[in-house]
Amino acid sequence: MFKKLLLMGSLVTALILTGCPAPEPPPVEPPESPPVEPPEPAPADLDQVAEELPEASPPMDPHQHRLQTVLDAQPEAVQARYRYRNPAETLNFFAIEPGMTVVEMLPGGGWYSRILAGYLGPDGTLVGANYPQAVWPLFGFMSQERIAQMATWADDWPQQARAWKIEDGASFDAFVLGELPEDRVETADAVLLIRALHNLVRFDAEHGFLDPALSDIHAVLKPGGIVGVVQHEARPDMPDEWANGANGYIKRSLVIERFEAAGFELVEQSDINANPLDQPEVEDSVWRLPPSLRGSEEDHEQRVAMQAIGESHRMTLKFRKSD
């Protein structure tokens, strides 16, 4: 009987074990791996990275930004001459800044005037200065009507300049050399003579225009004011009688001598506007070159040769009014 009971218990236990599956063990989370930090680059790697990164451009000076904006806004025909006239480099060399009062000698059609008026801005003043009335008949090509019109130039030019309607531009004034108004004495920060000296030199020997002009330039400047000269330059080996201004060219030594005698000191000289391709001979004048191209109107080959030279070789001199 006991054996039967024992056998039956074993069967029940077996049935329990085979019929009811055992519970699954709880899932085991894999151990977290610590984050792996990337290795620091070796010093050589850092140098390589630095070389590959673009250099940060320094912010543009606000004056330079204004000047570049004005230059970019000029008509294409004006901009085409930047390669020869270098207005940004030239105005920077003469230390012209917005807000100044600047006298421009012989502004003519306004090539530089429009640039200056925009750059000087609403706090600045651009003052045109013209030759004495006695100069105009000496050229020999001006009509009597045109000469008579020049008599009112000092009143007319500011009105013409205002008609340009230069946005955010300078105010305008004008005077004639030899007739400097009293209220203009010692008011200018700078005087610019850009291709304007040769005719004063040309007629100086007979009529004595240069010294009175330099006297007015000295008088209009504030103490320490700057004079900027850009002028067609004759080679030192050219005859003095050829380099007297009649052909457009004058010698650097003459300019320096006369300015120093008038109370200016030479501060600096520059090759900004130099053109070594311009090598005139005694039969040549500056007007054979662009933009005039005089003498090659009917000679295509000559015209191409002059265009290849470009505009004239020019000295660029900075003087200061002596205290």
Instruction: Name the burial class of residue 207, with classes exposed (0-12), middle (13-18) and buried (19+) by CB atoms within 10 angstroms of its CB.
Output: middle
Measured between alpha carbons, how far is 192 from 221 in angstroms, rounded to an integer?
A: 11
- Residue listed under structure tokens 């070796």: 42
Of the candidate CATH numbers 3.40.50.450, 3.40.190.10, 3.40.50.10310, 3.40.50.150, the domain formed by 62-321 belongs to: 3.40.50.150
**pLDDT for 322:** 87
**Beta strand pairing status for 314-321 and 264-270?**
antiparallel
C-beta of residue 229 within 8 angstroms of C-beta of residue 316: yes
Question: Is residue 184 within 8 Å of 220, Cβ to Cβ?
Answer: yes
| Confidence (pLDDT) at 47 | 57
Other Cβ atoms within 10 Å of 234 Cβ, number: 26
Whole-number pLDDT of residue 21: 45
Q: What is the spatial distance between Cα 60 and Cα 58, in angstroms, rounded to a whole number?
A: 6
**pLDDT score for 190:** 98
What pLDDT does 40 receive?
55
Please tell me whether the overall predicted TM-score, pTM, comes out greater than 0.85 for this model.
no
- At 194, give phi and psi (nearest 5°): -105, 105
Chain center to CA of 12: 108
Q: What is the pLDDT along the chain (323 residues), one digit of tens a residue?
A: 444 443 444 433 443 344 444 444 444 444 444 555 555 555 555 556 455 666 666 677 999 999 999 999 999 999 999 999 999 999 999 999 999 999 999 999 999 999 999 999 999 999 999 999 999 999 999 999 999 999 999 999 999 999 999 999 999 999 999 999 999 999 999 999 999 999 999 999 999 999 999 999 999 999 999 999 999 999 999 999 999 999 999 999 999 999 999 999 999 999 999 999 999 999 999 999 999 999 999 999 999 999 999 999 999 999 999 87
132 dihedral zone (left: phi>0; alpha: psi -120 to 50; beta): beta
pLDDT at 60: 75
Per-residue model confidence (pLDDT) at position 59: 75
Give the C-alpha separation, 229 to 240, whole Å.
20
Helix H segments across the chain? 2-19, 43-52, 62-72, 76-79, 82-85, 87-93, 111-120, 144-150, 153-162, 198-202, 204-207, 210-220, 252-261, 300-309
| pLDDT value for 20 | 41
Tokens of 207: 């009529």
Choose among 113, 100, 108, 146: nearest CA to 130: 108
Domain ranges for the chain, please list them.
62-321
pLDDT of residue 48: 60
